[in-house]
Amino acid sequence: MNLQQFFTPFVLVSLLIGQGYLPASAQEPIQQPATQPAQQTVQPGLNNEAIIKLVKAGLSDDLIVATIGSSPGAYDISADGMIALKTAGVSDRVVAAVVSKINAAAQLANPVPSLPPMPPAATGKVLLKEGSDVMLTLDEDITSKTSQQGDLVTLILTEDLKVGDVIVARTGAKAMGEIISADKSEMMGKGGELSLRLDYLKVGNEKIHLRGNKTAGGKDSVGGMVGLMMICFVCGILHHGKESKILKGTPVHAYVSEDISLPPAI
């Protein structure tokens, strides 16, 4: 084989490429232009100057307030900033909407952490603290005419008693009180007097001791009403003639008198 026979195919290929007879796939790949990323349109937020422009353009307060609520914004709500808004004729309603928008954004950025519910102790019990509210109602009528010292009075729990999210006593639980004084009306116009002391709330085998005394006086015939002395709040007292009477269903606001550990209510 001579050199002429060896180089002839290569010379022929070069000639064909130069004349454009070979397909594009046989030639050097053509570089495609890089695709330009689409530019995003950023909607500018509102600010104090924009609010003033909207007001001066004659837009209604309703429309401006709706725009503030639905649009991002960066406002100056310092004393000087709000004075500038008022000086420019911005209404109090629009200024209040700006302040509310800023406060709402601040709350979203820095949410107030909620306190986790108190978990049950290792024993399965939770601690009900002294001073916890206990909402009760009387389960019977009591009157100075028929009641005697030492009589027991039944009350009903009207709201679940909780420690955090743990219920320790359910609505309907029974509580007990005691008549400590029951003076009937007397001669010479003295009205009757009735005193009730709260004792405990019964929960399973446990007694939640309560505090709260109540004294109610009947009407004196010589005028005036005997004053009411109370540690727990009792409303709905009726005075029939000279006798003192507290009706069934009367709300009673009592308090836990000492710390006590209780299991969750079943």
Q: Tens digit of pLDDT for each residue in 227-253?
A: 333 333 344 444 444 667 788 888 889
pLDDT grade for 146, boundaries at 50, 70 and 90: confident
List, for residues 43-77, the tens digit of each pLDDT value: 457 899 999 999 999 999 999 988 888 888 888 88
Please check the confidence at residue 26 and state whether its pLDDT lies above 80.
Answer: no
Give the chain's largest Cα–Cα span. 155
Options 3.90.1150.10, 3.40.50.300, 2.40.128.260, 3.30.450.20; CATH for 126-262 is 2.40.128.260
142: three-class secondary structure by DSSP? strand
Round to whole Å and give the CA distance between 231 and 234. Answer: 9
Instruction: Report the Cα–Cα distance between both ends of the chain, in Å, rounded.
Output: 105
Round to whole Å and give the CA distance between 142 and 146. Answer: 8
Q: Kindly state the tokens that stand for 202.
A: 């019964």
pTM over 0.85: no
Q: Left if phi > 0, otherwise alpha if psi is -120 to 50, otherwise beta: which for 105?
A: alpha
8 A C-beta contact, residue 161 and residue 112: no
List the chain domain ranges. 48-109, 126-262
